[in-house]
Amino acid sequence: MTFVKDMDFKGFKTPIAQLFRALIDADANPVRTSKKNITWDRLLPFVVLHLGCLGVIWTGVSPTAFIVAVALYWVRMFLITAFFHRYFSHKTFEMNRFWQAIAAFGTLFAVQRGPLWWAAHHRHHHRHSDDQDDVHSPSQRGFFWAHMGWICCDANMPTRYELIPDLTKFPELVWINRLDWLGGVLLAGGLWLLGNYLYTLNGSTTGAQLLVWGFFISTALLFHATCTINSLSHVWGAQRFQTDDTSRNNPVLAIATMGEGWHNNHHFYPASARQGFYWWEVDMTYYGLKLLAIFGVVKKLHPVPPWVYQKAGVGLPSSFVPLSSSTMPSV
């Protein structure tokens, strides 16, 4: 990709600017490694994240801190499922360039790396689901590796730009992707400052307490809930559709991940913005996207086509409207 290789940084002169350059340019020409094992430097951030949760022993809890933690969990889960997954990975709906950039920047606050890294790895997963090239298949390397081991491996750290040419044509997305550390820094710092302000205002919480609950605990829960789709959703649940992998539908995981638990549905037809194919399959992300469509943020949400419902053999939902063949989205 010429943009990534040929960016001009001649204007970076000061030490601070040079540091900024190093951070954003670290992924431009990544050194690929064949190492397939966990490395301690990649594991360390997760150790720190979980140790940070123990801070609750000293900070305690307050209604304010608990509400902030819960709110940040659900808001960031929506950013992951709606934009990391259903937009950047699968393009199941459309956005204009402005909202696309806003969505990309917003995903950084989920602290799950950048949108292009996420999309590239997920597209690779769909191409190789549960075969020997799938980087997080529980049937290949076990549950722990599928859950979080793979993300602590050097070989899986570079962004595979060659898998996402439709996204790398937008320079702003490449820059945002390289700033994947920024969302966590801003969130942690913002929570600390907000907690201290609220303490001086009404004593409802403190900076340390809001940092522990809003950042460490909320982010740890968010990470593990997301990872259950790689691990549990391939070993626990029902299979409505016959696919070439072990993907399963699980209503418990669907609640925790705002609809991602309908994983067998998704693997059978990933081009739909809706992963809960029927009214009884709760899909909060899809409901959120429908709301954003009302305000014009997103548009043209790809529906589930008739042939998929026919294949399911369950019957069409009552609100089903057939698509013409000319408007059928491609997988």
Residuewise pLDDT in 10s, the chain (331 residues): 444 433 333 444 444 444 444 444 445 444 344 446 878 888 899 999 999 999 999 999 999 999 999 999 999 999 999 999 999 999 999 999 999 999 999 999 999 999 999 999 989 888 888 878 878 888 788 888 888 888 888 888 889 999 999 999 999 999 999 999 999 999 999 999 999 999 999 888 999 999 999 999 999 999 999 999 988 989 899 999 988 888 999 999 999 999 999 999 999 999 999 999 999 999 999 999 999 999 999 999 999 999 999 988 765 554 434 433 333 333 3
SS3 251: helix
Task: Report pLDDT for 4.
Answer: 43
Q: Can you tell me the distance from the alpha carbon of 228 to that of 306, in angstroms, rounded to the nearest whole number? A: 30
Kindly list the domain boundaries of the chain, sorted by start residue. Answer: 35-304
Beta bridge partners of 38: 153
SS3 326: helix
Buried b (16+ CB within 10 A) or exposed e, 182-212: bbbeebbeebbebbbebbeeeeebbbbbbbb
What residues contact 101, with CB distance under 8 A and at least 6 apart? 170, 172, 173, 176
Task: Report pLDDT for 150.
Answer: 85
Task: Report pLDDT for 143.
Answer: 86
Least Cα distance to 277 among 244, 237, 308, 236 occurs for 308
Ranges of H-type helices in 142-275? 143-147, 165-168, 171-178, 182-201, 207-210, 218-227, 251-256, 263-268
Q: Can you tell me the distance from the alpha carbon of 228 to that of 118, in angstroms, rounded to the nearest whole number? A: 16
Written as one letter, the residue type at 291 is L
Task: Report pLDDT for 314.
Answer: 67
Least Cα distance to 293 among 313, 279, 311, 273 occurs for 273
